[in-house]
Chain A
Amino acid sequence: MTSASFDSAAERRQRVRAGLARRHLGERLFRGFGVVAIVLALGFVAVLFTDVLRKGIPAFTQSNLHLEVRFDPELLKVDPAPIRAAGQSDADFRATRLAWERQVAMLNWNNVIEAALRAAAPAGFDIDSRQILTIAESDGRHRVRELFVRDPGLLGQRVNVDLLASANTDNWVKGNINRELDDARQQLSAPARALIDIFEENGTISQGFAWSLFTNVDSRSAPAAAGLLGALMGTFWMMLVVIVLAVPLGVGSAIYLEEFAPKSRLTDLIEVNINNLAAVPSIVFGLLGAAVFINWFRLPLSAPLVGGLVLTLMTLPTIIIATRAALKGVSPALRQAALGMGASRTQMVFHHVLPVTFPSILTATIIGVAQAMGETAPLLLIGMNAFVAAVPGTPIEQATALPVQIYLWQGNENRNFFEPRASAAILVLLVFMITLNAIAIFLRSRLEKRA
């Protein structure tokens, strides 16, 4: 070896060493990008959840008015409730009772609430009756009336009643309204605001858990009383339809394709078709529902049944694909052993293969159902965004669903009050989804161990 080649080797080493620093810098940079990407992604999750939590948690408390209501005979000029006379027929008694209830309904119950509010206010506080009534939510008169209808003996008595404070009062108490704004831009009049502050101090107004969020249906006239019950029931009916239809159809379809279908052009087409269906935008399923179920089959608009059918078709591919993957994972030894013992193909599948894959299928189903539960867009097209102020008792009654209720509330003009409400509804939805996913994970780990 000549000295020249030694030189060049040394040079080369020199060059490599010089390049090494650059290459290590590149390595660190690249790795840094990876860390940044992870941090960004985790940051998004954190920001999203803290934002929704921060906005939504206040909506779970509500301002309540603790009033002593007096059923003043002066204000309530009403006949005594009819008592069933001896020998009076059922129908007759019902008729007199109805006439009396009609009379009760015609009374101005706001007067009673106004009197109660005035009694709670300091003596001589100057406020006109329209202003003072803005403090209580407008559904208060129905609630007081109901108390009376249930027990007519209350006439002349005093009762402690908890009523909802109005949405504006609630906002004022929670500090969602800028107190510096001038009168013209305030929702509540100056005396009403002053009175609310007094009420808060003397304990007439206090904060409590917003049970009405879960026990009431949506309301336009009384925003503070608006609740999720209708939407929850609508979602319940839809999910029932999805579970009843999508699970057997999906699992059956997967079993056929994976276990029985001959490998032919046709089954290949079905497979491509199912993969594509899984990637069809959800809004297209809404168009399908509007055209086929509502326009062609004349199924009722806004019904959870139609929503459930649309979501079923959407969820099917997910369940089919997951079930097929689970079936593929079963060891051939199990199948051969079953067949070798003389089982028929059907027996092999239903008695041996399916039980083994049960945990995976269950998990996939729960995850698919959870996804369907959060879907909004297709439901808008089949009329689930109609305002419904009743709890649907059957899947063919008008209803709305939880995600659609969020959509409706975020669009409400009373943004100060309904944005937190929408966030609260989102929290309820997320709790459902996380619970379902947790159940899926728990079941999988539990059942897989046993299998």
Chain B
Amino acid sequence: MNTFIVAGLLLVLLGVAYQRGWTKSRALAIPEGQRVHSRGQYHGTLVVLWTLIPALLVLALWAFFSPGVAHWYIVSQIPNEVLTSLDQTGLNQQMQRIRDLASGFGVAGELRPFEQEAGENLARFQLLSFLIMLAAAAGLGVLGLTFAQRRISARLRARNEVERAISWLLIACSAVAILTTLGIVASLVTEALRFFTYINPLDFFFGTVWAPKFSSTGTGDAGQFGLLPLLSGTLMISTIAMLVAVPVGLMAAIYLNQYAHRSVRRIVKPVIEILAGIPTIVYGFFALVTVGPFLRDVGSSIGLHVSATSALTAGLVMGVMIIPFISSLSDDILSQVPRSLRDGAYGLGATQSETIRNVLLPAALPGIVGAFLLAVSRAIGETMIVVLAAGNAPILRGNPLEPVSTITVSIVNQLTGDTDFTGPQSLVAFALGLTLFIMTLCLNIVALYIVRRFREQYE
């Protein structure tokens, strides 16, 4: 509700600002017939900017500080003897009660003597602080408006100023990508470091047993956090996925690129690319409900024990998911190989398949390796398929027909529903995330480097 009021007021103010700037600009231009440096829109926009930025600054400051101030105010409303008797959870509950009273929501149970008064005080305080904020934002906005309006003259370079503002805005947009990376690294590293205060990094990276104990959260016995069983499961599933995706994807790309008639290619290529657009939860469900039981039945008919959820199930389905990834990347790379190389081979009397195997593929190899690495990184980071179909058995073993667990599965298991990062049980998710991030980052950098390097060879 409050948000709508603020947004509405702001919009009205901005409308007025634009109107003022534009009118003044026209007033300059028409009667005196002088050459005005910038057009009316730019003057209007400039006034809008001068109004918007101070108001937004006030709003941002308020949004940043108001929770803290409200917290401080509520605590100040609780009598000292009550305050000392409460622990953290009790204090939070007490504060929620007062907030509920202030918002008119009401509370259950008997009112303590101070609560009613505190609630009323809080309601008054909130209203007052909201009004002050509103007044400050509007006041500064109007101040900016008048100042900017005064500045408008025939020689004011409004367009240049607006353009400078736009370019700062664009820079801010690009900064988001960097901030995201910084955010990822900062959150992963700080939380992982906190995890390593509980668990020795050596035990984490070289431990062979994964057995986090949830029952003993907060006690000394946290369980064992060995990465190796998860790593082996991850690598096993990725390997199976690659064994499916690379031959099928590569051959499909070669066929579409070299043999297929244009009309066939036009239909088949997008159909294969549909596989890339399917959400991974759908693959996971498909693996769990259809592929797993199918493999189990096939296995038992030839006297082999295959678990319905296993590394094989997850790997096969993940391979299907990666096929379009490999095929379209390889297709692009094959198309980049210069025609002259191929024609040379044909001229020497090579058949089409010999040309492909002996000329085209070697020439395209670095690019294909790059695509392969990107696909591996995607397989390592894939989550929903393995959550549903890998079986979640974090045990170090080499049989792909048995259930395994992966790094991503463990992240989901350790963190789902638990966002109070107090013990190693939830913090370990960040150590796992950091491991995953570094692994995929290395693969991506190497892959991008190879792909780029290769491209330049022909340009």
Chain A positions near chain B (C-beta within 8 angstroms): 23-24, 26-27, 29-31, 33-38, 40-42, 44-45, 48, 51-52, 55, 248-253, 255-257, 260-261, 270, 272-277, 279-288, 290-292, 294-296, 298, 301, 313, 316-317, 320, 344-346, 370-371, 373-377, 380-383, 385-386, 403, 406-407, 410, 419, 422-423, 426, 429-430, 433, 437
Given known contacts A256-B170, A370-B277, A403-B279, A320 and B177 CB-to-CB distance under 8 angstroms: yes
Nearest Cβ on chain B to A374's Cβ, whole angstroms: 3
**B-side contacts of A298, CB under 8 Å:** 67
**B-side contacts of A55, CB under 8 Å:** 289
Given known contacts A284-B188, A295-B419, A41 and B282 CB-to-CB distance under 8 angstroms: no
Interface string of B373-389 (1 = CB under 8 A from A): 01001101111100110
Q: Once the chains are docked, how many angstroms separate the CA of A275 from the CA of B181? A: 11
Nearest Cβ on chain B to A363's Cβ, whole angstroms: 13
Contact A283–B174 (Cβ < 8 Å): no
Which of B50-58, B204-212, B407-415 contacts its partner? B407-415
A33, A287, A346, A426: most-surrounded residue (chain B CB, <10 A): A287
- Say if the beta carbon of B444 comes within 8 Å of chain A: yes
Contact A377–B170 (Cβ < 8 Å): no
Q: Once the chains are docked, how many angstroms separate the CA of A261 from the CA of B173? A: 12
Contact B384–A317 (Cβ < 8 Å): no
Contact B252–A45 (Cβ < 8 Å): no
In this complex, the interface size class of chain B, counting residues with CB under 8 Å from chain A, is 35 or more
Name the one of B176, B280, B448 contacting A276, with C-beta atoms under 8 angstroms. B448
Q: 29 A–B contact pairs at CB < 8 A?
A: A24-B351, A26-B351, A31-B352, A37-B248, A38-B272, A40-B248, A41-B323, A42-B268, A51-B286, A52-B282, A55-B289, A250-B173, A252-B170, A252-B172, A273-B178, A275-B444, A276-B445, A281-B378, A283-B383, A287-B433, A298-B67, A317-B177, A371-B277, A374-B278, A374-B282, A377-B383, A377-B412, A407-B281, A407-B388
Interface string of B387-400 (1 = CB under 8 A from A): 11000000000000
Q: Once the chains are docked, how many angstroms separate the CA of A284 from the CA of B381? A: 9
Name the one of A41, A285, A320 contacting B248, with C-beta atoms under 8 angstroms. A41
* CB-contacts of B115-169 with A (<8 A): 159-160, 163, 166-167, 169
Give the residue name and chain of the B residue nearest to A427 (CB): B282
Contact A42–B272 (Cβ < 8 Å): yes
Interface string of B171-190 (1 = CB under 8 A from A): 11110111011011001101
Q: A38-B272, A280-B440 are in contact. List 16 more A-B contacts (CB 8 A).
A: A24-B351, A31-B255, A41-B248, A41-B327, A48-B275, A281-B383, A283-B408, A283-B433, A284-B433, A287-B188, A287-B411, A288-B184, A291-B187, A291-B188, A291-B430, A407-B384
**B-side contacts of A42, CB under 8 Å:** 268, 271-272
Q: Once the chains are docked, how many angstroms separate the CA of A55 from the CA of B285? A: 11
B351, B354, B374: most-surrounded residue (chain A CB, <10 A): B351
Given known contacts A31-B255, A284-B188, A344-B159, A290 and B419 CB-to-CB distance under 8 angstroms: yes
Q: Once the chains are docked, how many angstroms separate the CA of A95 from the CA of B377? A: 64
**A-side contacts of B429, CB under 8 Å:** 287, 381
Nearest Cβ on chain A to B424's Cβ, whole angstroms: 15
Give the residue name and chain of the A residue nearest to B407 (CB): A283
Q: Once the chains are docked, how many angstroms separate the CA of A286 from the CA of B281? A: 15
- Say if the beta carbon of B297 comes within 8 Å of chain A: no
- Say if the beta carbon of B46 comes within 8 Å of chain A: no
Closest 5 CB pairs of A and B: A281-B381, A374-B279, A34-B255, A252-B173, A37-B251
Name the one of A280, A288, A430 contacting B278, with C-beta atoms under 8 angstroms. A430
Q: Once the chains are docked, how many angstroms separate the CA of A270 from the CA of B182? A: 12
**B-side contacts of A383, CB under 8 Å:** 417, 419
Q: Once the chains are docked, how many angstroms separate the CA of A437 from the CA of B275? A: 13
Q: Once the chains are docked, how many angstroms separate the CA of A404 from the CA of B298? A: 31
Give the residue name and chain of the B residue nearest to A29 (CB): B353
Given known contacts A24-B351, A253-B173, A279-B378, A272 and B277 CB-to-CB distance under 8 angstroms: no
**B-side contacts of A33, CB under 8 Å:** 251
Contact B437–A280 (Cβ < 8 Å): yes
- Say if the beta carbon of B441 comes within 8 Å of chain A: yes
**A-side contacts of B445, CB under 8 Å:** 272, 276
Name the one of B174, B191, B441 contacting A253, with C-beta atoms under 8 angstroms. B174
Give the residue name and chain of the A residue nearest to B354 (CB): A23
**A-side contacts of B250, CB under 8 Å:** 37
Name the one of A30, A251, A279, A437 contacting B440, with C-beta atoms under 8 angstroms. A279
Give the residue name and chain of the A residue nearest to B451 (CB): A275
Contact B163–A44 (Cβ < 8 Å): no
Give the residue name and chain of the B residue nearest to A251 (CB): B173
**A-side contacts of B377, CB under 8 Å:** 279, 281
Contact A376–B272 (Cβ < 8 Å): no
Q: Once the chains are docked, how many angstroms separate the CA of A31 from the CA of B251? A: 9
Q: Once the chains are docked, how many angstroms separate the CA of A33 from the CA of B250? A: 10
Name the one of A31, A284, A371 contacting B353, with C-beta atoms under 8 angstroms. A31
Give the residue name and chain of the B residue nearest to A26 (CB): B353
- Say if the beta carbon of B73 comes within 8 Å of chain A: no
**B-side contacts of A251, CB under 8 Å:** 173
* CB-contacts of B255-287 with A (<8 A): 255-256, 259-260, 268, 271-272, 274-275, 277-282, 284-286
Q: Once the chains are docked, how many angstroms separate the CA of A42 from the CA of B272? A: 6
**B-side contacts of A374, CB under 8 Å:** 277-282
Q: Once the chains are docked, how many angstroms separate the CA of A376 from the CA of B260? A: 36
* CB-contacts of B310-352 with A (<8 A): 320, 323-324, 327, 351-352
Give the residue name and chain of the A residue nearest to B185 (CB): A288
**A-side contacts of B383, CB under 8 Å:** 281-283, 376-377
